[in-house]
Amino acid sequence: MNEELDPEIKRLRWRCRRGMRELDQLMLRYLDQRFQQAPTSERNVFLHLLDCEDDKLWAWFMGREQPGDAALNDLIQTITALPP
């Protein structure tokens, strides 16, 4: 699907912009490489991830903390394993 024509992807691309380049890259990498093929349950976890605070996201992605939600933790592992 062409993201220029898909308003949902455009909206999500904007929400992936976190103000920290490293987080932006991680979130956009997932959006570009996996989101559209992901099952609905995984997409919903990603939407929940986008609602989390940047300081928590950074701690989770850097492995300093783990989220209490196993699905969030699994998605974080998936995102960090994606190729750049």
Rg of the Cα atoms in the chain:
12
Please write the tens of the pLDDT for every residue from 28-50.
999 999 999 999 999 999 999 99
The per-residue pLDDT for 4 is: 57
Taking the C-alpha atoms of residue 12 and residue 81, their distance in angstroms, rounded to an integer, is 21
CB 34 within 8 A of CB 82: yes
pLDDT, mean of residues 18-35: 96
Which domains does the chain carry?
7-81 (1.10.150.250)
Q: What does the alpha-carbon distance between residue 25 and residue 21 come to, in Å, rounded to a whole number?
A: 6
* DSSP-based three-state secondary structure for 18: coil
The structure's pTM equals 0.90
**Identity at 23, one-letter amino acid code:** L
